């Protein structure tokens, strides 16, 4: 045992107490083990990676990148799936597969922006309402949250979109506005139960201020449900985004958007089935991938036995 007596800062202690770096890699291994217990999670992860890589490298992956923009070729319109056009062509002669790959971009951007904008305020409000549970702050915050949750999501989005111009940016704003309350509710439940744990009481008894309690004691214990929900939400945001573009709000042509592609192709059913089915399957694939991966993330973040 060392003998300390008013030591100086260049004592040997500084050297020995450097945070061990290998801890991160050990944890990565353990986290992967927990994630991969269920093979479905790995399938989900693969799907998600495929989607992300396709979105990033769309110009190189799509066989006809120029057809994802302003392009018409009426001679080739309505071609069924073949080796040249894996998903066929649409009514304007554009390759559907290429358009789907490019549509991933808009979908992912929407998910990222919406969640980046909705999660922080939602979490903050939920934490505060949960910590001050029972008081007026709780009531004010949660009743406002309830109002937002009470409006049917699509109606809210349509209302917002009708006020603003229909484009991707405004679609994102609309979806953000209906998304934050879910995080507030999640955090409200989590925070109000954690605040009764003994470690929070111990911090209060020793004199910690409210900021410390909320952000240093309670919040770190809420991270697993938050990240799990974010992973699962990506798919759902994209779905709502597709619903908006289905009715013409959101990404405007000629930029491809999955919902709009489904809507465009719908009137050609059932003869030209590929025009609707493939974009729809793409939406299903996205949702499936993120849901399966989200389950894996939840398994990974769950506190349990190693």
Interface with another protein (CB under 8 A)? 1-2, 4, 7, 9, 11, 13-14, 16-17, 19-20, 23, 29-30, 33-34, 197-208, 212, 216-217, 220-221, 223, 303, 305-306
User: Do 269 and 78 touch, CB atoms closer than 8 A?
Assistant: no
Between residues 83 and 303, which has the closer beta carbon with respect to another protein? Answer: 303
Task: Give min distance, CB of 97 to another protein, in A.
Answer: 40
Q: Which is nearer to another protein, 7 or 59 (CB)?
A: 7
The sign of the dihedral angle between the CA atoms of 232, 162, 252, 86 is: positive
CA distances from 154 to 33, 161, 170, 285 (A): 39, 10, 14, 22
Measure the CA–CA gap between 136 and 278, rounded to whole angstroms: 51
CB 234 to another protein: min, Å:
25
Minimum CB–partner distance for residue 1 and another protein (Å): 6
- The least distance separating another protein from the CB of residue 53, rounded to whole angstroms, comes to 28
Toward another protein, which CB reaches closer, 11 or 139? 11
CA angle 37, 38, 42 (to 5 degrees): 100
The alpha carbon of residue 6 and the mean position of all alpha carbons in its chain are separated, in whole angstroms, by 51
**In angstroms, what CA-CA distances link 65 with 47, 55, 80, 174, 234?**
22, 12, 19, 30, 25
Residue 16 vs 270, nearer CB to another protein: 16
Find the shortest distance in angstroms from Cβ 125 to another protein.
Answer: 21
Q: Which two tokens mark 163?
A: 């006020």
Nearer of residues 165 and 197 to another protein, judged by Cβ: 197
């Amino acid at each position: 045992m060392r003998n300390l007596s008013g030591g100086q800062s260049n004592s040997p202690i500084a050297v020995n107490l450097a945070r061990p770096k290998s801890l991160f890699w050990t944890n990565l291994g353990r986290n992967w083990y927990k994630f991969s217990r269920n093979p479905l999670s790995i399938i989900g992860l693969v799907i998600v990676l495929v989607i992300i890589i396709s979105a990033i490298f769309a110009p190189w992956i799509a066989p006809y990148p120029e057809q994802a923009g302003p392009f018409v070729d009426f001679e080739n319109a309505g071609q069924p799936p073949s080796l040249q056009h894996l998903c066929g062509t649409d009514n304007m002669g554009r390759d559907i597969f290429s358009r789907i790959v490019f549509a991933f971009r808009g979908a992912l951007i929407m998910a990222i922006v919406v969640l980046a904008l909705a999660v922080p305020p939602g979490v903050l409000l939920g934490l505060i309402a949960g910590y001050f549970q029972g008081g007026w702050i709780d009531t004010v915050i949660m009743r406002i949250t309830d109002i937002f949750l009470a409006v049917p999501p699509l109606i809210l989005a349509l209302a917002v979109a009708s006020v603003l111009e229909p484009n991707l940016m405004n679609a994102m704003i609309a979806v953000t506005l209906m998304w934050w309350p879910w995080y507030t509710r999640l955090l409200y439940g989590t925070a109000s139960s954690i605040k009764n744990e003994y470690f929070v009481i111990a911090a209060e008894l020793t004199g910690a201020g409210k900021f410390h309690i909320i952000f240093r004691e309670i919040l770190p214990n809420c991270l697993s449900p938050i990240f799990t929900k974010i992973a699962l939400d990506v798919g759902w945001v994209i779905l709502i985004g597709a619903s908006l573009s289905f009715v013409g709000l959101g990404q405007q042509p000629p930029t491809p958007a999955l919902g709009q592609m489904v809507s465009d192709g719908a009137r050609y059913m059932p003869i030209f089935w590929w025009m609707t089915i493939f974009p729809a399957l793409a939406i299903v694939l996205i949702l499936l991938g993120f849901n399966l991966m989200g389950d894996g993330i939840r398994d990974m973040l769950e506190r349990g036995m190693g």
